[in-house]
Structure 1
């Protein structure tokens, strides 16, 4: 169980570091138009990404090949479950 606690702590530390150091530097050193373009790129990547892990699709090549299809399947499954009154995931 310690492994999950350690992972959680690492993820929270990473997020705090981004908020405290990386994002302020980006805002200071990047123009509004570039920040807007970066935000658009992140939203596009999120829209194409699967909503859950898919074992066997760990490499970059596999993610590029399977990721968009898995994303459509995941989002369709999520929408059907939601429409039927179930959980989102």
Structure 2
């Protein structure tokens, strides 16, 4: 049985439609996973800010090593907040 141009065109269109549906589903899944990742990152930043607040309150200022650690945490959190 010989295929006509019309039959071949229909096969190509059906294949393209199926590929488009699969791509659409994959993109929708990817967007969902990216949204989850953004939410997890946001929660992590909130936790880091809370940890920073605890460190700032409980680290003695006259201890040089502790002061350096406190500055390091503060700078990292500022950077994380800016990148959000």
Q: Same fold (TM over 0.5)?
A: no
From the CA coordinates, give the structure whose radius of gyration is larger: 2
More helix by share: 2
TM bin (shorter chain) = 0.3 to 0.5
TM-score (norm 2): 0.39
